[in-house]
Structure 1
Amino acid sequence: MKRRRLLLPSVATALLFLGLNNLAFAADSPAKTLDEDQMAQADCVGCHINVNPGIVKQHMEGPHANTKKVEDEVRCHDCHGVDHKTMDDVEKASMPTPEICGECHKKQARQHRDGKHNLAWLAMKSQIAWHGQPGSITEQGYRGCSGCHKIGEKGLLAATQGNLGDVKRDGGKEAATYRYGNAQCDACHTRHSFKASEAMDPRACSNCHMGFDHPQWEMYTSAKHGIVWQIEGHVNEGGRAPTCQTCHLSEGDHEVRTAWGFLGLRIPTKENVLALIDVAPSLKEPLTKLAGLLPSGHYMDVDDDPQWTFDRALILQAAGILDASLQPTERFIEIVVQGQAARGPEEFNVERKKMKATCNKCHAQGFVNEHFKASDEIIKAADHEFAKAITAVQALYKDGILQKPEGWEYAPDLLQYYEAKTSIEQELYLIMLEYRQRTFQGAFHASNDYMHWYGWAPLKTAVNTILEEAKRMRAEHDSKKMAAK
């Protein structure tokens, strides 16, 4: 890594502090044994040991300051630059980025850049509901969604021409408007210690992977894997119980991918869609057109029957990802293709094989296969119930009982979330983000209570509520029409 020169006051204080951290120098004349780079570090510490001693202590106790060779030490100015020299120019201190980390950690930076976490900011901004929230929540406040999704790279742009799989970059324009939150690596390796051991602890995942729509932490700790991990003293490496990292960062792979992905979606294959023509011949033209845009192939363990394909098409319609003619929209390009919210057969099969191999280290192959297939069936059942509710609400719009809100492109629109204007559509939103999520995630994480009582049970309740409310609204509408005659 390139070393930079920085001069700040209070060198004597800094040298004393550095001495306590086993830097070798002569007590009677320390400066004589410090090279220019070490002297610059001493200058930084000389001020910051008084201004914010906590971060100095964290750095000095971390791996960056405790290398086998002094010349390999990562010092303050390696990450923060050399322009900040006084108390009055702190804004000139650079904030590190993954590219800075990648100067040393090339493999991990490349994997992260190619992985799902790197798309988190793009995925968040693709949700229309996010754009209606106050700036204190969505932007530099880093509260709500942005507090976790800042692990994603800022400035990714959805391409609408050329190779639709490409994600363009804005050259740093968006990131430049954020002083903090561009250092994605510190979401797991928190500053200023940056210990690998911390990032390998499942508790490092818990502040994001918890709560309303993705309570993986609660599922893990209430299932046998997490229980054993807690009983045996939080052993993160080589323990009997797998951690989040064991399965999702297998062998240290920073891409962090799974076959089903966050939303439990897959891209329908060409064969899936063409099979629908026999079931719905009236849709032959749009289905044939859609099939021409989709990949061919077969999903490991998953044999789609036409009903499941149709159920998932309705879900994608309600999310504005497919239009009324079942054709891909701009959201399909941004969310599914570029945001990678769904997998095609080739990628799905690769990720499933990897996950099965991880499970097979402890569990018999037959048990692993049955667990995955049973979990797939739970997604299938949840999708079918969800599709019933969507069909009912779509019919209310088609018949004029519900009116499309001003400014909405699609209705119903699942991605409007809690901005939905009717109680019946609020139930749809809860099914999508809470109940269905908990159903399928609970199944794969072997958290039985979450799968059933926090997922499947309220999903069924919400579907029944929607069906009954749709009947009531239709009867009321018909009654008003009769009275008007």
Structure 2
Amino acid sequence: MMKSFIAAVLLLSTAVAAGAAAPCLPCHAEKTPAAVAQWQGSAHARAGVGCEKCHGSDHDKIVRGEAKVGMKVCAPCHQKAYQEHRASRHGMGLHSGWGCTRNLTNRKPGECRFCHEEGDEVPRSDVQCARFLKQSPEMGEIGCNYCHSVEDACDSCHSKHMTDLKIVRDPNSCAKCHMGPDHPQWEMWQTSLHGTLNATTGSKTGPDCQTCHMPKGTHNVSIGITMSSGGVPYPAVKAQPARADMVNICSACHAPSFAKRELERGDQVRSQSLAILKEAEQVIWDLNDRGLLDPMPENRPPHPLSGQRLVTDSQMLYEDTSHIERLFFKMKKYDYARTVKGAYHQNPAYTHWYGNAELKMDLVDIKSEASRQKERGGKKGEGKAAAPGAEDELKALKNKFERGALSQEEYAKEKGKVLEKMR
């Protein structure tokens, strides 16, 4: 009797699936059989959610690649996941990437919704990404948008036609974006004790990405995060409740006092690393104030957002810069990130050797390069050392004051010291 019942249910679900996709199946079973097979084995097919429900009925638009199955297509049936995703850093993915494509001429009007709510002229975020703007369309699509389109693409994690949750519960699904020199969280986790326990005993003993960052299946992956993507600490009003959330997550396995102490150690590593980074940044700005960068910003292709001026914040480039800026890019984007993220992911090798040691050697390299630039007077091939004169010092101080690096009082004091030496 039970076998007959199961057979009837399967037959009914097959009939429901076939009916939902009836107009599409005859052609697509032949032209895209894998997609059809994946859909037929999905929860969507069993629920009678056919092709038109997600792709629409305008076949010409679909063929032209204009019928995007974005997040809002999924939202009506998946409201809880939609709202959680929108509240998370994944929900800001396109703000930091495609948010700046309004500067390009080849974007479609419909893409305004990446930055704006429907009918709202005020952007949800004014963050732009200069590095994306410097890339070719092909590199931008593959090298940038495959990860930075997560805001409007549920299939970034879930795949397109399959709905099996074991796909997204596997930490490998996170690795394609969260790996590499600038944010190797995957590698850090994999080679930490957490990763070792996960590989040998499973996720009940060894936590994975989803255990800590998607507790109880939430789509808000930013729970417990106390800093920006660039490692800048959040204000206390935002950081303190986030830290309490993370301690609560860690307490599923650890004593709360232990979790709090380890996270605070990570905070200290972050603060110490940021101080090293700031020291290096000031060296570069001092060269710029003295006109000694080679080449100076005014003598190279303009920055996509800031024109021909020095940029060392999150919009800094790795191309069309001086050599010392290239060293700083590695220091900030790779080594600082590895140090800090390594500390929070409990990976000693990434925190120290891949991170802290590299960070400190970067500072040595940057200081040495600055000394060479000063000795050369900023001119290629100049054989004699050129000691900076009083006029150069005064010019550098004036530039520092004008960009806000010195207060009026500090400027007057330092200027007085230089003038005193001239007497």
Output the CA distance in 2 between the equivalents of 1:420 and 1:446.
Answer: 36
Identity in percent: 28
Is structure 2 residue 143 aligned with structure 1 residue 243?
no
**Which residue number in structure 1 is paired with residue 159 of structure 2?**
190
Task: Tell me, yes or no, if the aligned pair for 1:65 and 1:74 is still in contact at 8 Å.
Answer: yes
Output the CA distance in 2 between the equivalents of 1:378 and 1:483.
Answer: 36
Task: Tell me, yes or no, if the aligned pair for 2:93 and 2:151 is still in contact at 8 Å.
Answer: yes
Q: Could you give the per-residue CA deviations for residues 158-204 of structure 1, whole angstroms, max 9, x where no partner exists?
A: xxxxxxxxxxxxxxxxxxxxxxxxxx111111111122221111111
The alignment partner of 2:297 has SS state of: coil
The alignment partner of 1:42 has SS state of: coil
Output the CA distance in 2 between the equivalents of 1:20 and 1:51.
Answer: 30
Q: Pick from 120, 137, 141: which aligns with 2:93?
A: 120
**Which residue number in structure 1 is paired with residue 279 of structure 2?**
388
Question: In the superposition, relative to structure 1, how do residues 89 and 193 fare at CA in structure 2: closer, same or farther (>3 Å)?
Answer: closer
Question: In the superposition, relative to structure 1, how do residues 90 and 456 fare at CA in structure 2: closer, same or farther (>3 Å)?
Answer: same
Question: In the superposition, relative to structure 1, how do residues 394 and 231 fare at CA in structure 2: closer, same or farther (>3 Å)?
Answer: same
Q: Which amino acid aligns with 2:206?
A: A
**Which residue number in structure 1 is paired with residue 194 of structure 2?**
225
Task: Tell me, yes or no, if the aligned pair for 1:84 and 1:93 is still in contact at 8 Å.
Answer: no
Is structure 2 residue 220 aligned with structure 1 residue 255?
yes
**Which residue number in structure 1 is paired with residue 113 of structure 2?**
none
Q: CA deviation at 1:112?
A: 1.2
Q: Which amino acid aligns with 2:131?
A: A
TM-score by length of 2: 0.74
Output the CA distance in 2 between the equivalents of 1:401 and 1:92.
Answer: 50
**Which residue number in structure 1 is paired with residue 103 of structure 2?**
none
The alignment partner of 1:356 has SS state of: helix
Q: Pick from 44, 47, 69: which aligns with 2:24?
A: 44
**Which residue number in structure 1 is paired with residue 405 of structure 2?**
none
Task: Tell me, yes or no, if the aligned pair for 2:297 and 2:310 is still in contact at 8 Å.
Answer: yes
What stretches of structure 1 move > 6 A for 4+ residues in a row?
A: none
Q: CA deviation at 1:477?
A: 1.5
Q: How does 1:62-461 map to 2 (within 5 A)?
A: 62-66=42-46, 72-84=47-59, 90-91=63-64, 94-124=67-97, 125=100, 126-138=128-140, 142-153=141-152, 184-232=153-201, 235-236=202-203, 239-257=204-222, 258-266=225-233, 343-402=234-293, 403-406=296-299, 407-408=302-303, 409=306, 410-414=309-313, 415-461=315-361
Q: Could you give the per-residue CA deviations for residues 9-46 of structure 1, whole angstroms, max 9, x where no partner exists?
A: xxxxxxxxxx9993339xxxx9xxx68x9535233222
Is structure 2 residue 10 aligned with structure 1 residue 22?
yes
Gaps of 5+ in 2: 1-6, 101-127, 379-383, 390-423
Task: Tell me, yes or no, if the aligned pair for 1:418 and 1:426 is still in contact at 8 Å.
Answer: yes
Output the CA distance in 1 between the equivalents of 2:369 and 2:250.
Answer: 44
Task: Tell me, yes or no, if the aligned pair for 1:112 and 1:254 is still in contact at 8 Å.
Answer: yes
Q: CA deviation at 1:481?
A: 4.6
Question: In the superposition, relative to structure 1, how do residues 225 and 89 fare at CA in structure 2: closer, same or farther (>3 Å)?
Answer: closer
Question: In the superposition, relative to structure 1, how do residues 432 and 73 fare at CA in structure 2: closer, same or farther (>3 Å)?
Answer: same
Task: Tell me, yes or no, if the aligned pair for 1:393 and 1:412 is still in contact at 8 Å.
Answer: no
Instruction: Tell which deviates more after alignment, 373-382 or 415-424.
Output: 415-424
Task: Tell me, yes or no, if the aligned pair for 1:186 and 1:194 is still in contact at 8 Å.
Answer: no
**Which residue number in structure 2 is paired with residue 465 of structure 1?**
365
Q: CA deviation at 1:391?
A: 1.2
Output the CA distance in 2 between the equivalents of 1:99 and 1:23.
Answer: 32
Task: Tell me, yes or no, if the aligned pair for 2:374 and 2:386 is still in contact at 8 Å.
Answer: no
RMSD, aligned α-carbons: 2.7
Gaps of 5+ in 1: 1-18, 67-71, 154-183, 267-342
Q: CA deviation at 1:92?
A: 8.3
Select the structure that is richer in helix: 2
Question: In the superposition, relative to structure 1, how do residues 112 and 347 fare at CA in structure 2: closer, same or farther (>3 Å)?
Answer: same
Q: Which amino acid aligns with 2:51?
A: C
Task: Tell me, yes or no, if the aligned pair for 2:339 and 2:350 is still in contact at 8 Å.
Answer: yes
Output the CA distance in 1 between the equivalents of 2:197 and 2:291.
Answer: 55
Question: In the superposition, relative to structure 1, how do residues 378 and 20 fare at CA in structure 2: closer, same or farther (>3 Å)?
Answer: farther
Q: Which amino acid aligns with 2:177?
A: C
Q: Which amino acid aligns with 1:122?
A: H
TM-score by length of 1: 0.65
Question: In the superposition, relative to structure 1, how do residues 21 and 89 fare at CA in structure 2: closer, same or farther (>3 Å)?
Answer: farther
Q: Which amino acid aligns with 2:367?
A: L
Q: Could you give the per-residue CA deviations for residues 282-319 of structure 1, whole angstroms, max 9, x where no partner exists?
A: xxxxxxxxxxxxxxxxxxxxxxxxxxxxxxxxxxxxxx
Q: Which amino acid aligns with 2:95?
A: L
Count matched residues.
338
Question: In the superposition, relative to structure 1, how do residues 20 and 215 fare at CA in structure 2: closer, same or farther (>3 Å)?
Answer: farther
Output the CA distance in 2 between the equivalents of 1:21 and 1:198.
Answer: 25
Question: In the superposition, relative to structure 1, how do residues 46 and 430 fare at CA in structure 2: closer, same or farther (>3 Å)?
Answer: same
